[in-house]
Amino acid sequence: MLEIKNLHARVAETGTEILRGVDLTVKTGEVAAIMGPNGSGKSTLSYILAGREDYEVTEGDILYNGESILEMDPAERAAAGLFLAFQYPLEIPGVATMTFLKAALNSQRKARGESELTTPDFMRRVKDSAANLKIDAAMLKRPLNVGFSGGEKKRAEILQMALLEPKLCVMDETDSGLDIDALRIVSEGVNALRSPDRAFLVITHYQRLLEHIVPDSVHVLYKGRIIRSGGKELALHLESEGYAQVIGEAA
Ligand code: ADP
Ligand code: MG
Ligand code: MG
């Protein structure tokens, strides 16, 4: 489903190279985890997948279902089934969460040539998904992410993901800011979305999340390159040994 080939990318404004030849393949139905120390380029990789304009791809390619997405803008990528749950969700004052969700869902349906959902149909879907994620109905009336706790912001991201039903879900440190109960709720929400026709790229620092969302593969990103790939046992190894050993071996 996703094939990242020798991807080099830099910050458009300063020219600083962040990704230095990332190679990664994620198959349909697979959950791939990306781990790595702070500053490795994990968030940058997620932004570049989503099509954020502050970065420039200088070499390599990103293939999604066999086709390059580099020329597609973020809305086109979303319509094609790509979703990014942000590490730091933005606060949007003045836009009720419910209004935002409805606009996001309907603009995506429009881009796919589907009809708009009726309000009752939309309300039913939001309420079902919100209940699964233990999101209070009152929260949906508040402006998106404004004054939400860290955990509430992350749950709101997963609610968007559940409603939009993407094919490729990229989750950037969704576990940060979650207490253990919220971690379980969010993980259950994600696991409920696992399916043979959907893939996940789960970015995390901690093995803890991967006890709940068990990955098929684990990749270590360091200084803009994947320096080690393995199965779920690699996450346990990193937890006990730290990143230093794997970095030393790669050097
Ligand atoms: P991670 O998510 O793995 O912690 P990031 O992708 O956030 O890493 O950052 C990787 C490196 O790129 C860091 O050194 C960061 O400071 C730098 N970086 C990312 N975006 C920019 C930017 N827009 N301008 C300058 N430096 C950036
Ligand atoms: Mg970081
Ligand atoms: Mg990050």
Q: Give the three-class secondary structure for 160.
A: helix
Ligand that comes closest to the CA of residue 224: 1
Task: Give the Å distance between the CA of 44 and the centre of ligand 1.
Answer: 6
Rounded CA-CA distance 245/220 in Å is 12
Q: What is the pTM of this model?
A: 0.94
Digitized pLDDT (tens) for each residue of the chain, 251 residues in all: 999 999 999 999 999 999 999 999 999 999 999 999 999 999 999 999 999 999 999 999 999 999 999 999 999 999 999 999 998 999 999 999 999 999 999 998 998 899 999 999 999 999 999 998 889 889 999 999 999 998 899 999 999 999 999 999 999 999 988 888 889 988 998 999 999 999 999 999 888 999 999 999 999 999 999 999 999 999 999 988 889 999 998 88
- Judged by its nearest atom, the ligand closest to the C-alpha of residue 14 is 1
For residue 224, which atom of ligand 1 is closest to its CA?
10
Choose which residue among 14, 17, 43 to substitute to test ligand 1 binding: the one with the highest number of ligand atoms within 8 A of its C-beta.
Answer: 43
Establish whether residue 44 lines the binding site of ligand 1, counting it when its CB lies within 6 angstroms of any ligand atom. yes
* Number of structural domains found in the chain: 1
Question: Mind listing the pLDDT tens digit for each residue in 79-128?
Answer: 999 999 998 999 999 999 999 999 999 998 998 899 999 999 999 999 99
For 102, the domain range is 2-250
How many angstroms separate the CA atoms of 121 and 237, rounded? Answer: 46
CATH code of the domain containing 211: 3.40.50.300
